[in-house]
Amino acid sequence: MTDLPTTDTTEPTTDADDRDPLFARIPRRDFMKAGAATGALTALAGCTSMLESDGDNGTAAAGSADHHVPPGELDEYYAFFSGGHSGEVRVYGVPSMRSLMRIPVFNLEGARGYGYDDETREMLEDAGGYTWGDVHHPRVSQTDNEYDGRWLFVNDKANGRLARICLKYFETDAIVDLPNQQGTHGACALMPDTKYIFGVGEFRVPMPNDGRDLDDPSAYTSVLSAVDPETMNPVFDVKVSGNLDNGDSGKNGRWFFSTSYNSEEGVTEREMTQADMDWVTAFDMPAIEEALDNGDYEEINGVPVIDGTKDSPLNNADRPIVRYVDVPSNPHGVTVTPDGTYAIASGKLDNTCTIMELDLLGEVGDPNDAIVGQPQVGMGPLHTRYDERGHAYTSLFVDSQIVKWDIEAAVESEPRSEDAVIEKIDVHYNPGHLNASQSFSSDPKGDWLISLNKQSLDRFLPVGPTFPVNDQLIYIGDDEEGMELVKDTPTYPEPHDATIVHRDNINPETVYDPDDLALEPVAGGEDDITREDGRVEVRMINQRNQFGFQDITVQEGDEVEITTTNIETSENIVHSLAIPQYDINVKTAPQETRKVTFTADKPGVYWIYCAYFCSALHLEMRSRLLVEPED
Ligand code: RUQ
Ligand code: CUA
Ligand code: CA
């Protein structure tokens, strides 16, 4: 397909031009519709569907899509939601949409004692010491393109970090502060076997960012950072022209894709939306590894940085390390189909998706010749996910809809035709991401889809000027009946993305294996206090309903280190060791050992108490910290 338009044919509207590029760059006809869809959402909810098949679109569930999980029964899927500015990950059951657990990552969290024991406190400090993060993209590790339940990786867009969550215990065990990135947006991995984790750098900055080139944006760059999933150390960076945004991997280890909305290399919104076309960067991983092996890099902040910009000699050799595929203005999401055939990018300011064929990409001279389809899907397309029946589902931010379309039909139809569109369903409102069961793996299930809507407007009781977001569950398992909206889930702002994984692929432990922990456990009967030169080391157990020592007496100014093991062996008996006036709350689950160190700088009596309601005598589970004043 070589006759695709190379420029955007849309006419910018004049009146909207100064407000929002989403509106400025869309066709006049569609703009009128967009104005209606967003300006009068309340009135028009349920009436914006273009291919109206069912006047009841958007109303409550009926029939086939049984999402009811009765009390006492378990869900079929885990959904890992990013927690946005909370810095956490949230775990839901699907299809019930019950909230099961929260996993603190970049935040402090009392219930899990996260950030309050020595190990997690040091991990957060070593990762920059920031008190918050902005989690957007949760991705579960895979082996042979299937979820393997080892790890979940997430980004921190705010502070340029990646974190690893161990899915054996559902807890964060490593964070890396990427030295050459600001605004780590995508968090993805190289498939089929999670060889690298990628931080996808969105904000362009000088390299290194040490005060040079402050006001010379042409000298700024974005990098893709590859991190080893085992060590969580950076392996290499690839710097690019333009910037990077969302990413996804091919299935055979060769390609990794990212969208770039700032081909203009601008620093203002107006500059970043000037060009009719931006691009998708396609990273050829074996070629990049070869450049690394050959020493074709410059080391910056301890990381080998390989030059993948358009003018790089490495891109003008026989096998370019990065290919730039032109796509219409300000693309956002890009994902690879479950069979690994295509990468599909969403236009954002254009109403199309662009389909690239991965095998072609390695063969063609001009990367644009790898574009094999460009269906018109609706306004503000952001992200695309898949079922196992050849369908793509794209979120339409401006239209407040999810569009279902046929991938092969889109390849066969003319560019910008709507022929491939099967159905649209209204969502409430303005979806960002969407996700479908197992969509990132080669084994999608094609039953449930979650639309993560940025606005909830009139859907819930008002709770003040800050609204919940609305994560809506949609049944997609019946191609004849079409998509069915079955559930609204108000959520604290703001999950960006979610990964839905079948429960067979996740196997957490419910009691710790002490061999997995760094600290030597304290055994029952081995409680011990040692003192030496102003340093007090306490090793004690905790269990229903006591700590190993009734009193711990120290001198003002002592450095106190308490190591405590929960020696319970039965599931679900959690204790904590709270010393509130010393800002301490260390949680221990069965067979877990944690350590906390502090300076006893306030003389007095301080109750040590268990902050988990662990038994009938939980309130009595207390000891005293006695800090004797210096005389
Ligand atoms: S991005 S709403 Cu942070 Cu995933 Cu697209
Ligand atoms: Cu232990 Cu309450
Ligand atoms: Ca642009």
Instruction: Render pLDDT for 394-440 as a digit per residue (tens, 0 to 9).
Output: 999 999 999 999 999 999 999 999 999 999 999 999 999 999 999 99
Residue 497 neighbours by CB under 8 Å, 6+ apart: 81, 82, 136, 137, 138, 383, 432, 433, 435, 452
Distance 271 CA to ligand 3 centre (A): 8
Burial class of residue 129 (count of CB atoms within 10 Å of its CB; 0-12, 13-18, 19+): exposed
Phi, psi of 431, rounded to the nearest 5 degrees: -70, 140
- Residue 113 sits at φ, ψ, to 5 deg, of 65, 20
Answer yes or no: is the C-beta of 612 below 6 A from any ligand 2 atom.
Answer: yes
- pLDDT tens string 261-271: 999 999 999 99
| Interval 496-504 mean pLDDT | 97
The per-residue pLDDT for 278 is 98
Answer yes or no: is the C-beta of 187 below 6 A from any ligand 2 atom: no
**How many Å apart are CA 130 and CA 510, to the nearest integer?**
30
Q: Does 454 have pLDDT greater than 90?
A: yes
User: Which residue, 157, 7, 173, is CA-closest to 82?
Assistant: 157
Whether the pLDDT of residue 11 is over 80: the answer is no
Q: From 134, 139, 383, give the residue whose CB has the most ligand 1 atoms within 8 Å, as the site to mutate.
A: 383
How remote is the CA of residue 528 from the centroid of ligand 2, in Å? 21
Would you say the CB of residue 433 lies under 6 angstroms from ligand 1? yes
Q: Is 621 in the pocket of ligand 2 (CB under 6 A)?
A: yes
Report the share of the chain in percent with pLDDT over 70.
90
The DSSP result for 30-49, as a single string, is HHHHHHHHHHTHHHHTT---
Q: How far is CA 351 from CA 25, 329, 370, 537, in A?
A: 10, 10, 20, 64
User: Could you report the per-residue pLDDT of 347-396, keeping only the tens digit for each?
Assistant: 999 999 999 999 999 999 999 999 999 999 999 999 999 999 999 999 99
**Which structure tokens are listed for 247?**
């990413």
Q: What is the pLDDT of residue 65?
A: 76
> Quick check: 219 pLDDT over 70?
yes
> Is the pLDDT confidence value at 257 over 80?
yes
3-state helix, strand, coil in the chain (%, to 5): 10, 40, 50
User: Judging by DSSP bridges, how do beta strands 535-543 and 559-566 pair with one another?
Assistant: parallel
Closest listed ligand to the CA of 200 = 1
- Please list, in sequence order, all residues whose beta carbon lies within 8 angstroms of the beta carbon of residue 213, skipping any fewer than 6 positions away: 206, 219, 220
Count of Cβ atoms closer than 10 Å to residue 19 Cβ: 10
d(CA 433, CA 333) in angstroms, rounded, equals 9
CA distance 614 to 42: 47
The average pLDDT across 107-136 equals 97
Check residue 631 and give its pLDDT.
81
Ligand nearest to the CA of 276: 3
Q: Is 139 in the pocket of ligand 1 (CB under 6 A)?
A: no
Which stretches of 88-158 are DSSP H helices?
118-126
User: CB of 424 closer than 6 A to ligand 1?
Assistant: no
Per-residue pLDDT at 89: 98
C-beta separation of 34 from 23 below 8 A: yes
Enumerate residues with CB within 5 Å of ligand 3 (an ion): 261, 275, 278, 330
Average pLDDT over residues 446-451: 98
User: Ligand 2 in contact with 587 (CB < 6 A)?
Assistant: no
Q: Which two tokens stand for residue 541?
A: 């157990």
- Beta-carbon count within 10 A of 91 CB: 19
Q: According to DSSP H, which parts of 265-405 are helical?
A: 269-272, 285-293, 358-361
Query: Which tokens hold the place of 511?
Result: 């009691």
Residue 541 and residue 524 in contact, taking contact as beta carbons nearer than 8 Å: yes
Residues in the chain: 631
Closest-lying ligand 1 atom to the alpha carbon of residue 137: 4
| CA 372 to ligand 3 center in whole angstroms | 22
575 lines ligand 2 (CB under 6 A): yes
Q: Which two tokens stand for residue 46?
A: 């349920």
Average pLDDT on 153-181 reads 97
Q: Is 614 in the pocket of ligand 2 (CB under 6 A)?
A: yes
Q: CA angle, 39 as apex, 34 and 44 as ends, to 5°?
A: 85
Share of the chain above pLDDT 90, in %: 88
Q: Which residue carries 């990786």 as its tokens?
A: 153
Taking the alpha carbons at both ends of the chain, their separation in whole angstroms is 87
| Confidence band for 186, pLDDT divided at 50, 70 and 90 | confident
Nearest by Cα to 342 from 397, 289, 282, 398: 282
pLDDT of residue 28: 34
* 40 or 280, higher pLDDT: 280
- 100: CA distance to ligand 3 center in Å? 40
pLDDT, position 26: 41
Buried b (16+ CB within 10 A) or exposed e, 234-258: bbbbbbbbbbbbbbbbbbeebbbbb
Q: Give me the residues paired with residue 77 across strands.
A: 94, 502
Cβ contacts of 139 within 8 Å, gap of 6 or more: 152, 153, 154, 187, 188, 189, 440, 499
User: Which atom of ligand 1 is closest in space to residue 245's alpha carbon?
Assistant: 1
Encode pLDDT of 15-51 as tens digits: 433 434 444 444 333 433 333 333 333 333 332 333 3
Residue 155 to residue 553: CA distance in whole angstroms:
43
Residue whose Cα lies nearest atom 1 of ligand 2: it is: 575
What would the pLDDT profile of 228-254 be if each residue is shown by its tens digit?
A: 999 999 999 999 999 999 999 999 999
Range name among 8-22, 93-107, 139-153, 260-274 with the lowest pLDDT average: 8-22
Q: How far is CA 536 from CA 213, 491, 529, in A?
A: 51, 45, 7
Q: What ligand 1 atom has the least distance to the C-alpha of 383?
A: 5
Contacts of 319 (CB under 8 A, 6+ apart): 284, 287
- For residue 127, give both structure tokens: 């990762």
**What is the pLDDT, as a whole number, of residue 19?**
39
Going by alpha carbons, the residue nearest to atom 3 of ligand 1 is 136
Non-local CB neighbours of 431 within 8 Å, separated by 6+ positions: 382, 395, 396, 397, 400, 401, 402, 451, 452, 453, 454
Q: How far is the CA of 118 from the centre of ligand 3 (A)?
A: 45
Phi, psi values for residue 546, rounded to 5°: -155, 160
Determine the atom of ligand 2 nearest the C-alpha atom of 610: 2
- What is the band of 66 on the pLDDT scale with cuts at 50, 70, 90? confident
For residue 258, is pLDDT > 80? yes
Q: How far is the CA of 434 from the centre of ligand 1 (A)?
A: 10
C-beta 202 within 6 A of ligand 1: no
DSSP state, 265? -
Interstrand relation of 303-307 and 234-240 (parallel, antiparallel or unpaired): parallel
User: What does the radius of gyration of the chain's CA atoms come to, in whole angstroms?
Assistant: 26
What local confidence, expressed as pLDDT, does residue 74 receive? 97
Ligand 1 atom closest to Cα of 157? Answer: 3
Is the minimum distance from the CB of 79 to ligand 2 under 6 angstroms? no
Q: Which ligand is nearest to the CA of 545?
A: 2
Q: 541 CB under 6 A from ligand 2?
A: no
Would you say the CB of residue 618 lies under 6 angstroms from ligand 2?
yes
64 pLDDT tier (thresholds 50, 70, 90): low
Query: pLDDT per residue over 547-604, tens digit each?
Result: 999 999 999 999 999 999 999 999 999 999 999 999 999 999 999 999 999 999 999 9
Residue 208 CA to residue 237 CA, distance in Å, equals 12
